[in-house]
Amino acid sequence: MALLTGRVAMVTGGGRGIGEASARKMAEHGAGVILADMNLASAQAVADDINARGGEAKALEINVAEFEKIPAKIQEAKALFGRIDILVNVAGIVGSTPIEEITLESWDRMMDIDLKSMFFVTQAVFAVMKEQNYGKLVHMSSLAALRGGRSSDASYAAAKAGILNLSKCFALHGAAYHITSNAVCPGNILTPMGKSLSWSHVDPKTYIPLGRYGTAEDIANAVLFYASEMSDYVTGDFMNVNGGLYM
């Protein structure tokens, strides 16, 4: 069953990891996909492969931390397919700086890339969705938002917690326009970014109830739920995808 036939999805950070997996999953279900990434070559390679497999995808270069350029970039994205039905906010960074060593500069960088950019990208897409009277917003938060940063640092946990609240704000303001807003909270996921963290060298059977690390595909399945009509009566919510690690 194709759950997203006729829909258009934009994925920030779509050139690799969870963003790539989410874009591929939505393309498999019939969506036209915009792979928005600061690494245009990476996004284009994914788009080319999706197209070669019978899907429909286009690449868009965007640096989500260049805030003043975001409105124009979203209009550029809209022009690729004529609309944006789904936005998946994945672009971001992670940190593992000890709490005593976080600097003003590193704190501001984390907030800019992981939280501030999420708001302004969503704000610009929100205006498009209001005109359409329809939209699905999906934001990538983290288990760290719920229980604090352990292998990740405090600034990352704080930014991801902020995403949960902003998601609710868009849910409240979007409901009248048939726009839903939800978040996904991944646990320890073996993406290229995840493999750089200390937990990736520990046997998951020793501390994750389901006994394995998550994959980008596991997160993409949650994204598909929130992006499709299956979640039409779900908004302001978040989903834990962590193999039971939250317990």
User: Which string of DSSP letters, residue by residue, matches 4-58?
Assistant: STT-EEEEETTTSHHHHHHHHHHHHTT-EEEEEES-HHHHHHHHHHHHHTT-EEE
Report the alpha-carbon distance of residue 171 to residue 178 in Å, rounded: 10
pLDDT tens sequence across 172-222 = 999 999 999 999 999 989 887 777 666 678 899 999 999 999 999 999 999
Domain boundaries, the chain: 8-239
156 is catalytic: yes
Residue 210: what pLDDT?
96
Phi, psi (rounded to 5 degrees) for 13: 70, 30
Q: What is the pLDDT of residue 146?
A: 94
pTM: 0.95
Nearest CA-CA partner of 145 in 118, 178, 173:
118
pLDDT tens for 81-102 read 999 999 999 999 988 889 999 9
How do residues 111-136 score in pLDDT, each as one tens digit? Answer: 999 999 999 999 999 999 999 999 99
- pLDDT tens track for 8-38: 999 999 999 999 999 999 999 999 999 999 9
pLDDT of residue 197: 67
Cα 189 from Cα 191, distance rounded (Å): 6
Q: What is the pLDDT of residues 224-242, one digit of tens each?
A: 999 999 999 999 999 999 9
Query: Residue 187 is which amino acid?
Result: G
Three-state SS letters, 133-184: CCEEEEEECCCHHHHCCCCCCHHHHHHHHHHHHHHHHHHHHHHHHCEEEEEE
What's the pLDDT at 145? 95
Q: For residue 190, count CB atoms less than 10 angstroms from its CB and return exposed for 0-12, middle for 13-18, buried for 19 or more.
A: middle
pLDDT per residue over 136-172, tens digit each? Answer: 999 999 999 999 887 778 999 999 999 999 999 999 9
* pLDDT the model gives residue 192: 76
Catalytic residue among 134, 156, 213, 233: 156
CATH architecture group of domain 8-239: 3-Layer(aba) Sandwich (3.40)
Q: What is the DSSP string of 104-119?
A: HHHHHHHIIIIIIHHH
- Rounded-to-integer distance, Cα 65 and Cα 85, Å: 23
Mean local confidence (pLDDT), 40-49? 98
